[in-house]
Amino acid sequence: MVRFIIQRWLVYVARVCGAGIFALLLIELAYCVFGGSDRHVWLVSSYEGVPVQFSREANGWWTLACGRFWNSFFVILIAYGGTLIIGYSWGVLSARLSRWKVSSLLSLPFSVFACVPGFWFVISVAVYSYFEWQRPGFANEVVVETGPDLMSWWYAGVVALPLLMTATAWQIRAVSESIEREAGNPFVKGLHVSGYRNEEIFYANIMRQSWKELIGLSDKMLPFIMGGIPCLEWAFGYNGLGSLFIDSVRGGYYEGVLLCCIWVSLTIGLITMIRELGVRFGTKE
């Protein structure tokens, strides 16, 4: 067990290092090859201090990125947590009710919402907030100085909602299809013939057989969520890692781009490692 954990940990470190190298290559390709810049990634002079626009938040890039990641953590928590909770529960429900073909119906609201451009949704929320509630709409327009900062949860929720809905639409379909595939196996027919009740077959047999595949689906939407965060945070003026990433890309700040990529790969790699450990130890039991 310990050996497996160490092995996975090493793979995790290798993945993050790989992502860092990949990000450096991308920066070189984008800025120097496509953009014609002479600031190569291997030159020390290409890496400057924190620019003026961020200097009020932190003195160093690492501190800045850590602070921004903590802000984005709320968004990730809502989007990814909600995807897992709703995706799995509705997916199991739609598989359970597959006889009535409700799978598409259950994922329909999420699929329709997935067609909404996320950046437009957050701007629409800001417009509504301004005209209906008579208060600043974008996240960077108000700062809570005293008392509990409940507004930060509201802002994080607005940014997370488009990602949550899109990811959930996929998750419901994936979970449902996975269980239905398992339900199509011959042993299910055998259990029916043997006189088992439907509930017993579904929960005690099909679900038990398919749980490994279901756990394997748990981290599939995380890259999508992490990839969607920059655009939405930037559109809504949310001071998170995503808006730091976009500002860094537009301003040509290599450290900002690199640190954002590393934070994202750390998060994705960590969830992937947890999933792999879960599958492994579940199999051993």
Partner 1 sequence: MGNRRSSKALAVSMALLARIWRIRVVLLLSLPYLFLVGWLFSAEGTSDVRPAEVFVVPDPPRWEEPDHSHRFGTTGTGVDLYDLSRVAMANSVAVAVLSSGAGVMLAFLLVMLFANDPGENRFHLIKMLGRSGLLLPPFMVMVILTGGAGGSLIVAMVSMASVIGLILAPVVAEWFEDGEDGRDILAGYALGLTRPQIVRSRIVPVVVRRLLGVFAQLVPVAVLAEMALSFMGLTGDRISCGAMVAYGRELIIEAPWMALYPGVMAFLVVVAFSIMGTLVGAALRTGRYARFL
Among 158, 231, 244, 259, binds partner 1 (CB under 8 A): 231
- Measured from the CB atom, the residue of 78 and 260 that comes closer to partner 1 is 260
How far is 45 from 24, CA to CA, in rounded Å? 15
**Is 130 an interacting residue with respect to partner 1 (CB under 8 A)?**
yes
Among 87, 110, 268, 276, binds partner 1 (CB under 8 A): 268
174, 177, 179, 184: CA torsion to nearest 10 = -160
**Is 49 an interacting residue with respect to partner 1 (CB under 8 A)?**
no
Look up residue 35 and give its DSSP letter. S
- Measured from the CB atom, the residue of 121 and 202 that comes closer to partner 1 is 121
Helices 207-216 & 254-284 angle (0-180, nearest 10): 160
One-letter amino acid identity for 33? V
Count Cβ atoms below 10 Å from residue 74 Cβ, excluding itself: 18
**Is 179 an interacting residue with respect to partner 1 (CB under 8 A)?**
no
**265 three-state secondary structure:** helix
- Measured from the CB atom, the residue of 73 and 153 that comes closer to partner 1 is 73
Among 110, 170, 234, 238, binds partner 1 (CB under 8 A): 234
- Measured from the CB atom, the residue of 49 and 117 that comes closer to partner 1 is 117
Q: How far is the CB of 127 from partner 1 (least distance, A)?
A: 5
Find the part of the chain contacting partner 1 (CB under 8 A) among 29-37, 71-79, 93-101, 151-159.
29-37
How far is 81 from 69, CA to CA, in rounded Å? 17
**Is 22 an interacting residue with respect to partner 1 (CB under 8 A)?**
yes
Binding mask 242-261 for partner 1 (x = CB under 8 A): ---xx--xx-x----x--xx
- Measured from the CB atom, the residue of 34 and 100 that comes closer to partner 1 is 34
Among 66, 93, 116, 214, binds partner 1 (CB under 8 A): 116
**Is 227 an interacting residue with respect to partner 1 (CB under 8 A)?**
yes
- Asked if 94 and 100 touch (Cβ cutoff 8 Å), the reply is no
Among 12, 23, 171, 175, binds partner 1 (CB under 8 A): 23
How far is 75 from 154, CA to CA, in rounded Å? 10
Q: How far is the CB of 124 from partner 1 (least distance, A)?
A: 6
How far is 125 from 152, CA to CA, in rounded Å? 15
- Asked if 99 and 198 touch (Cβ cutoff 8 Å), the reply is no
How far is 72 from 218, CA to CA, in rounded Å? 20
CA atoms within 13 A of residue 113's CA, in its CB half-sphere: 18
Closest by Cα among 162, 134, 132 to 238:
162
Which residues of this protein are in contact with partner 1, per CB under 8 A?
15, 18-19, 22-23, 26-27, 29-31, 34-35, 37, 111-112, 114-121, 123-124, 126-127, 130-131, 137, 223-224, 226-228, 230-231, 234-235, 245-246, 249-250, 252, 257, 260-261, 264-265, 268-269
